[in-house]
Amino acid sequence: MTGVEPRFDDLIHAPTRLSLVSLLTAAEWADFKFLREQTGLSDSALSKQLTTLEDAGYIDIRKSFVGKRPRTSARLTPAGRQAFAAHVAALQQIVARSGLEVTP
Amino acid sequence: MDPIDAELALAEVRARRDQVVTSTLVPSWFWPATGALMLLFVGAVESAVPWLVATGSVLYALGLSALILAVVRHSRVQVRNSLLGLRGALAIAAFTVGLVAAGLAVAFTLDAFGAPLPATLGCVPVALALAFGGPRLMAHLRRVMLSRPLADAR
């Protein structure tokens, strides 16, 4: 986490949003259905959380077609990636200060 | 914030990354299926029987397209390229080059000894290596991706 200033982010830290951003940080993009299956959220709950993240400028939501089927996908924006990296650094700092072992 | 809660949050981040990485790996059935198709194709071409060459080629093209389509359609997430990185790319390249080199070496050796159907026989170890090595390659790539830092600001 070198070069990232630790900053705890309350918006990201909410449990469902932490799960969503953690999924998205490992992905170039993720399908709405994938996010729903992995988090176990309902369509409306997932939409609400994604909208919150989008309003904060942390994710982009993209609508496209695969064949004739509509597909909604999401990905982290550079700002979202930066905020998440700072949040993880803050969590690691809290753990390190307590003397627990920190996984990179 | 309680350090235990912070550690639990980091564990959640790790678990979610693991979910993404695992779901993007090529499924195990893909490898033996690709090996079998390749073997059929090489066998058909080496037979030099026109209708067999034509049928084998069409079946190979259709079969490979169907396999790739099945994997792509199943894909609902694309793993971040930086997780794979140079180490992952080199592992894939080494696996591919190794298979091609092994196949050619066996085929040319068999041909030099006058064995029948050298290309097809040379393809057998390649197909087996694909079937058994493909899942191992995926396991290696998974380890590589999960060894990366939890978050990357770039």
More confident residue, A97 or B139: B139
Locus of tokens 């490979």: B64
B116 lies in which domain range? 3-146
CATH number, domain A10-97, options 3.30.450.20, 3.40.50.11810, 1.10.760.10, 1.10.10.10: 1.10.10.10
Cα separations (Å) of A27 from A24, A56, B15, B121?
Answer: 5, 19, 14, 41
Instruction: Find the mean pLDDT for residues B122-149.
Output: 93
Question: Would you place residue B142 in the very low, low, confident or very high pLDDT band (cuts 50, 70, 90)?
Answer: very high
Amino acid B70: pLDDT: 87
Amino acid A1: pLDDT: 46
pTM: 0.83
Our count of domains for chain B comes to: 1
Cα separations (Å) of A8 from A89, B44, B50?
Answer: 8, 62, 69
Instruction: Find the mean pLDDT for residues B33-48.
Output: 93
Instruction: Find the mean pLDDT for residues B68-95.
Output: 89
- Count of CB atoms situated within 10 Å of the CB of A3: 8
Cα angle, residue B13 at apex, residues B7 and B19 outer, rounded to 5°: 135
Residue A34 has its nearest CB partner, among B9, B14, B76, at: B76
Mean pLDDT score of chain B, rounded to an integer?
91
3-class DSSP string for A33-63:
HHHHHHHCCCHHHHHHHHHHHHHCCCEEEEE
Residue A85 has its nearest CB partner, among B78, B83, B153, at: B153
Chain A contact present for B74, CB below 8 A = no
Q: Which residues of A touch B16 (CB under 8 A)?
A: 19, 22-23, 26, 38
Number of helical H runs and strand E runs in chain A: 5, 3
Instruction: Find the mean pLDDT for residues B40-66.
Output: 93
Residue of B nearest to A80 (CA): B153
Q: Is residue B104 part of a domain?
A: yes
ipTM: 0.88
Residue ranges covered by each domain of chain A: 10-97
Question: Would you place residue B74 in the very low, low, confident or very high pLDDT band (cuts 50, 70, 90)?
Answer: confident
Amino acid A99: pLDDT: 75
Q: Is residue B32 part of a domain?
A: yes
Residue of B nearest to A86 (CA): B153
Residue B153 pLDDT exceeds 90: no
Run means of pLDDT, 10 residues per run, chain A, 104 residues = 81 94 94 93 95 96 82 93 95 86 63
